[in-house]
């Protein structure tokens, strides 16, 4: 497909829909709801919110009003106007041109690579909680980390290879069990208070946070880090049965559910864990272990609850991984990447070469992140770097209703533009503050330098790749 700079949105939509016809339509309404919840509710961001202490409820409410609701409105608007496989990548490409679309896809792709690279760290951390204190060594043993990372990345590749017919059940199961587990956590302080083992509990107490750089950093992670993701399921629009109807309705149901889970889940953790001692990798397992301590069924309930919560990570990794294999495929349809990425399996209709490429890169990133740093710092770096790349893509998401080309028909009215401005400013705050760590690191200057170098170097690489592929396409034309 040639550049769409001089064409209208209808031509771009028709071309993308023709390419999507080879994909299987697997996602129904319930599948989209579960996907939206799973993509947004990330357990480790409960830990970041706990760092805010008593001010967490106030910060959650601000984040929901000024970021989460604007995001929901913008995503619903764009998906109604342009329900295409590739989601945000296609929206940005139609709004601003091929280069902008390619950079958005590149940053989304790098986000998932770095996010998925933490799968070994998360899994071994949770297993150490399940198996008990005598097995705490699993979370820091490099051989165990390598073995777990290798096994799970191979599993992600297999599930993605089989397609959404299998993958959607992984997503639905993980999302449902996440809701159940966080609900149990949210109810636990009420039970302990009724038993008299918790002196007092006020889950909705409003406290103003101190105006410090640390508070702004935590708030930025509670806004963008914890509440982004509603647009990611739209990457599968070409594999959904009715994306125009289902996605906006799914978002409408997911937003209040996510808000309740985050607010009451964070308050429950604070009932048992202090902000200074919270485990940023496993805040919910930590709170469950302390909250159930002394109860007769604790030895059964706690490991089971933690295992159920682990399904959230594995399911979200699976959904992210599958979505990430679609971005190179769609970019290949648009001739912004080699056609090699567009090869589909003859039976499952999944992008086999893109799956293989992503699996190898994810495994390499997971192992490389452990070089020269502690496990918690490695996890923090992967999370911050990944979400910083994601933040750069989100700047484009909120810019589309404001600055899209008039011919694209993606601009919006004044109310949605005001919502987009709120989302844009808070995303910019997150990206700016991403170099400020909220955990102890070996060297703060080195941490900041590596973060800046990752963002700058990653996007410079994208520019080189884009222009190389453009020249190659022009020679073959």
**Which tens digit of pLDDT belongs to each residue from 145-154?**
888 888 989 9
E strand intervals along 7-166: none
Tell me what the mean pLDDT of segment 306-320 comes to. 83
pLDDT value at position 265? 94
Q: What is the pLDDT of residues 260-294, one digit of tens each?
A: 999 999 999 999 999 888 887 778 888 888 888 87
Does 7 score more than 60 pLDDT?
no
Cβ atoms of 226 and 77 within 8 Å: the answer is no
Does 58 score more than 90 pLDDT?
yes
Pairwise CA distance, residues 33 & 233, whole Å: 9
pLDDT value at position 371? 58
Pairwise CA distance, residues 423 & 142, whole Å: 39
Does 224 score more than 70 pLDDT?
yes
Q: What percent of the chain has pLDDT over 70?
A: 90
Res. 369 pLDDT band, cuts 50 70 90: low
pLDDT value at position 96? 92
pLDDT value at position 302? 73
Does 57 score more than 90 pLDDT?
yes
In this structure, whether the domain defined by 28-476 belongs to CATH 1.20.1740.10 is answered with yes
Tell me what the mean pLDDT of segment 219-228 comes to. 88
Angstrom CA distances, 208 to 53, 134, 268, stand at 10, 40, 19
Res. 367 pLDDT band, cuts 50 70 90: confident
Does 136 score more than 80 pLDDT?
no
Which of the two residues, 189 and 13, has the higher pLDDT score? 189
The region of weakest confidence among 59-63, 334-338, 351-355, 377-381 is: 377-381
pLDDT value at position 10? 63
464 CB burial (10 A radius; 0-12, 13-18, 19+) = exposed
Tell me what the mean pLDDT of segment 305-319 comes to. 82
Which of the two residues, 242 and 295, has the higher pLDDT score? 242
pLDDT value at position 6? 44
Does 92 score more than 70 pLDDT?
yes
What are the DSSP calls for 9-26, one per residue? HHHHHHHHHHHHTTS---
Tell me what the mean pLDDT of segment 48-63 comes to. 92
List, in sequence order, every residue forming a beta bridge with 27; answer none if it has no partner.
240
Res. 15 pLDDT band, cuts 50 70 90: low
pLDDT value at position 11? 60
The region of weakest confidence among 173-187, 209-223, 385-399 is: 209-223
Res. 4 pLDDT band, cuts 50 70 90: very low
Q: What is the pLDDT of residues 93-121, one digit of tens each?
A: 999 999 999 999 999 999 988 888 878 87
pLDDT value at position 424? 95
Q: Note the maximum CA span of the chain.
A: 76
Query: Which among 50, 442, 83 is positioned nearest to 226, based on CA atoms?
Result: 50
User: Which residues contact residue 155 at a Cβ distance below 8 angstroms, ignoring those fewer than 6 apart?
Assistant: none
Query: Which among 180, 125, 127, 119 is positioned nearest to 303, based on CA atoms?
Result: 127
Q: What is the pLDDT of residues 443-468, one digit of tens each?
A: 677 777 777 888 888 899 999 999 99
Res. 5 pLDDT band, cuts 50 70 90: very low
Query: Which among 358, 366, 362, 365 is positioned nearest to 328, based on CA atoms?
Result: 358
Instruction: Break the chain into its structural domains and give their ranges.
Output: 28-476
3 in helix, strand or coil?
coil
Pairwise CA distance, residues 344 & 354, whole Å: 9
């Amino acid at each position: 497909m040639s550049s769409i700079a001089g064409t209208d949105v209808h031509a771009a939509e028709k071309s993308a829909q023709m390419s999507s016809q080879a994909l299987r339509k697997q996602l129904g309404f319930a599948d989209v709801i579960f996907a939206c919840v799973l993509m947004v509710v990330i357990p480790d961001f409960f830990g970041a919110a706990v760092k805010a202490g008593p001010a967490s409820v106030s910060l959650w409410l601000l984040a929901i009003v000024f970021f989460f609701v604007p995001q929901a409105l913008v995503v619903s608007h764009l998906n109604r106007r342009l329900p295409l496989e590739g989601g945000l990548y296609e929206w940005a490409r139609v709004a601003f041109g091929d280069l902008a679309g390619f950079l958005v896809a590149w940053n989304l792709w790098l986000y998932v690579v770095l996010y998925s690279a933490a799968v070994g760290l998360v899994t071994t951390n949770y297993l150490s909680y399940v198996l008990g204190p005598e097995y705490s060594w699993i979370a820091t043993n490099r051989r165990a980390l390598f073995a777990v990372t290798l096994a799970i990345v191979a599993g992600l590749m297999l599930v993605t290879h089989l397609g959404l017919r299998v993958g959607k059940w992984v997503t639905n199961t993980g999302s449902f069990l996440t809701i159940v587990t966080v609900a149990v956590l949210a109810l636990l302080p009420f039970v302990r208070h009724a038993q008299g083992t918790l002196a007092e509990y006020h889950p909705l107490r409003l406290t103003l946070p101190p105006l410090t750089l640390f508070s702004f950093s935590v708030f930025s992670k509670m806004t963008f880090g914890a509440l982004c993701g509603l647009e990611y399921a739209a990457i599968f629009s070409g594999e959904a049965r009715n994306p125009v109807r289902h996605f906006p309705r799914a978002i409408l149901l997911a937003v209040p559910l996510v808000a309740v889970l985050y607010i009451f889940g964070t308050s429950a953790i604070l009932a048992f864990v202090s902000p200074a001692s919270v485990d940023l990798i496993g805040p919910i397992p930590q709170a469950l272990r302390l909250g159930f301590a002394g109860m007769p069924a604790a030895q059964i309930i706690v490991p089971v609850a933690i295992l159920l919560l682990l399904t959230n990570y594995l399911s979200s990794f699976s959904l992210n991984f599958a979505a990430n294999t679609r971005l190179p495929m769609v970019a290949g349809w648009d001739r912004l990447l080699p056609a090699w990425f567009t090869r589909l399996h003859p039976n499952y209709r999944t992008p086999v070469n893109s799956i293989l490429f992503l699996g190898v890169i994810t495994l390499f990133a997971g192992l490389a992140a452990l070089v020269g740093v502690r496990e918690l710092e490695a996890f923090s770096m992967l999370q911050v770097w990944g979400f910083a790349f994601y933040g750069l893509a989100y700047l484009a998401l909120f810019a589309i209703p404001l600055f899209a080309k008039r011919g694209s028909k993606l601009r919006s009215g004044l109310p949605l533009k005001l919502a987009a401005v709120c989302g844009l400013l808070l995303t910019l705050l997150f990206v700016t503050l991403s170099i400020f760590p909220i955990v102890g690191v070996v060297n703060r200057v080195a941490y900041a330098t590596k973060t800046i170098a990752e963002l700058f170097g990653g996007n410079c690489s994208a520019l080189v790749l884009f222009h190389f592929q453009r020249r190659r396409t022009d020679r073959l034309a």
